[in-house]
């Protein structure tokens, strides 16, 4: 039996995970998982004993935000909850001897979706290719405080795990390379001007030092490889996973019964509209029960890393609206004649343009990044929506 602690009461993913693991116990006829939940709305959790748990899932977090209407004080809260609180929880878990810490990050660390019928090149942002497909080589880079708070948390958690979470490039360096003029959103204008001057002055020195650093790094890597090989052999002989592990889950849109965010809006549209634009965009999404099974498997393995779970199929916004309507016995016709309206809305400034591009833009993970999807994707899009809307005997 494994003991699981969910840090953060009343969160959507946390409560869904607890319910899923308890139902799994019932289906297997014995207690595979003992699940407990603690609240982190005050500081009482700091005195809670983390000892004896096999895994801690960080459910506390703030998401689903309109970045254009948030004050600086509210932005600071995002960093406090999404980064500082998560790191403090992970540090307490490590000190208590917990083997695995799971942190739900977000696909938003790669920035916004590719706008409707536009490419990254067209918009001047070169963090992805023209199709909006995220690959293992795509650097994490987000200019908004929400995505940046997740990036900072990932960096700090990586340090706690001994930098065992491999990233192709540091997020801050990636942002500077991908977006000219990028700066930490937490800095003042004077800080930005001063930092820019210092960066330009130090660039020449860093280039001179690079050759020597690379040569030394190569020697260190050779030595490290030998050390890691010996450590891995000792761990294998001991029959356990190595030390404190951190699993970072960069989640796409999560939907399911009781979910928040964009899904309830799609339900309203499916209920009220007889017609819908026939836009064939592509989005990576994951149904909540598929996600819970993915998390269960990571708990069983007890190993950290960087993960990109998603449904086995990409989803077009139009198809999702059709499936939601069908689950309620209704029919929504898709009309290409409405597509020019979407194109017009996507070009409008402000909230309308942002919403159109978010709804009809594309953003997907390359399927090769998402592991054995057949093992954790228990339900396809149609069945997942039927379960979400309550039109199945099993719900």
| pLDDT (tens digit per residue) in 116-146 | 766 433 333 443 434 578 999 888 886 688 8
Half-sphere exposure of 385 (CA within 13 A, CB side): 20
d(CA 166, CA 170): 10
Query: Which tokens belong to 33?
Result: 């998982």
Q: Is 63 part of a structural domain of the chain?
A: yes
Q: Is 395 part of a structural domain of the chain?
A: no
d(CA 152, CA 150): 5
Measured CA distances, 363 to 54, 120, 155, 156 (Å): 34, 11, 23, 26
Query: Which tokens belong to 295?
Result: 């998390």
Q: Is 236 part of a structural domain of the chain?
A: no
d(CA 241, CA 99): 8
Residue 121 is part of a domain; what is its CATH number?
A: 3.40.50.720
pLDDT tens by residue, the chain, 395 residues: 999 999 999 999 999 999 999 999 999 999 999 999 999 999 999 999 999 999 999 999 998 666 567 788 888 999 999 999 999 999 999 999 999 999 999 999 998 777 776 643 333 344 343 457 899 988 888 668 889 999 999 999 999 998 656 553 344 444 443 333 334 444 444 443 444 445 445 544 545 555 556 666 556 666 555 555 554 444 443 333 458 999 999 999 999 999 988 899 999 999 999 999 999 899 999 999 999 999 999 999 999 999 999 999 999 999 999 999 999 999 999 999 999 999 999 888 888 888 888 889 899 999 999 999 999 999 999 999 999 998 754 43
Total domains, the chain: 1
Q: Is 166 part of a structural domain of the chain?
A: yes
Q: State the CB neighbour count (10 A cutoff) for residue 128.
A: 24
Q: Is 47 part of a structural domain of the chain?
A: yes
The residues that bridge with 8 in the sheet, in sequence order, are none
In 230-377 the beta strands, taken as DSSP E runs, fall at: 245-251, 253-255, 275-277, 285-287, 305-307, 333-335, 364-365
Helix extents (H) in 239-338: 262-272, 288-301, 317-327
The boundaries of the domain holding residue 155 are 2-229+244-388
* 47: phi then psi, degrees, rounded to nearest 5: -95, 0
215 membership: H or E segment, kind and range = helix 189-238
What is the pTM for the complete model shown?
Answer: 0.79
Q: Is 361 part of a structural domain of the chain?
A: yes
d(CA 72, CA 145): 10
| Beta strand 100-106 pairing with 333-335 | unpaired
Q: Which residue has the tokens 């405080």?
A: 145
Identify the three-state secondary structure at position 158: helix
Q: Is 112 part of a structural domain of the chain?
A: yes
Amino acid 233: pLDDT: 45
Q: Is 313 part of a structural domain of the chain?
A: yes
Amino acid 178: pLDDT: 38
């Amino acid at each position: 039996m494994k003991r699981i602690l969910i840090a953060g009461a009343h969160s959507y993913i946390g409560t869904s995970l607890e319910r899923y693991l308890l139902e799994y116990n019932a289906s297997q006829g014995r207690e595979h998982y003992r699940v407990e939940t603690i609240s982190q709305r005050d500081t009482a959790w700091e005195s809670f004993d983390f000892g004896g748990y096999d895994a801690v899932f960080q459910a506390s977090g703030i998401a689903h935000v309109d970045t254009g209407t948030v004050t600086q004080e509210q932005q600071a809260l995002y960093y406090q909850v999404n980064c500082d609180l998560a790191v403090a929880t992970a540090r307490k878990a490590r000190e208590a001897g917990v083997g695995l810490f799971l942190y739900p990050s977000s696909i938003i660390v790669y920035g916004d979706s590719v706008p409707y019928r536009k490419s990254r090149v067209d918009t001047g942002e070169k963090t992805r290719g023209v199709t909006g497909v995220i690959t293992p080589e795509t650097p994490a880079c987000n200019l908004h405080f929400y995505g940046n708070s997740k990036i900072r948390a990932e960096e700090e958690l990586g340090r706690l795990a001994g930098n065992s979470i491999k990233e192709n490039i540091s997020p801050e360096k990636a942002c500077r390379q991908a977006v000219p003029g990028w700066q930490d959103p937490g800095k003042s204008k004077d800080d930005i001007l001063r930092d820019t001057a210092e960066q330009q002055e130090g660039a020449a020195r860093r280039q001179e030092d690079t050759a020597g650093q690379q040569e030394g790094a190569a020697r260190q890597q050779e030595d490290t490889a030998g050390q890691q090989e010996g450590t891995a052999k000792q761990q294998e002989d001991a029959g356990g996973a190595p030390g404190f592990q951190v699993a970072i889950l960069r989640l796409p849109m999560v939907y399911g019964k009781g979910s928040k965010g964009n899904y309830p809006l799609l339900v309203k549209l499916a209920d009220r509209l007889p017609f819908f634009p026939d836009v064939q965009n592509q989005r990576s999404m994951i149904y909540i029960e598929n996600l819970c099974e993915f998390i269960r498997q990571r708990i069983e393995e007890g190993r950290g890393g960087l993960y990109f779970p998603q449904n086995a199929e990409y989803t077009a916004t139009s198809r999702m609206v059709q499936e939601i309507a069908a689950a309620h016995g209704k029919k929504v016709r898709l009309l290409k004649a409405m597509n020019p309206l979407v194109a017009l809305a996507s070009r409008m400034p402000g909230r309308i343009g942002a919403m159109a591009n978010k709804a009809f833009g594309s953003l997907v993970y390359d399927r090769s990044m998402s592991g054995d999807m057949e093992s954790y994707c228990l339900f396809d899009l149609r069945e997942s929506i039927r379960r979400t809307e309550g039109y199945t005997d099993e719900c």
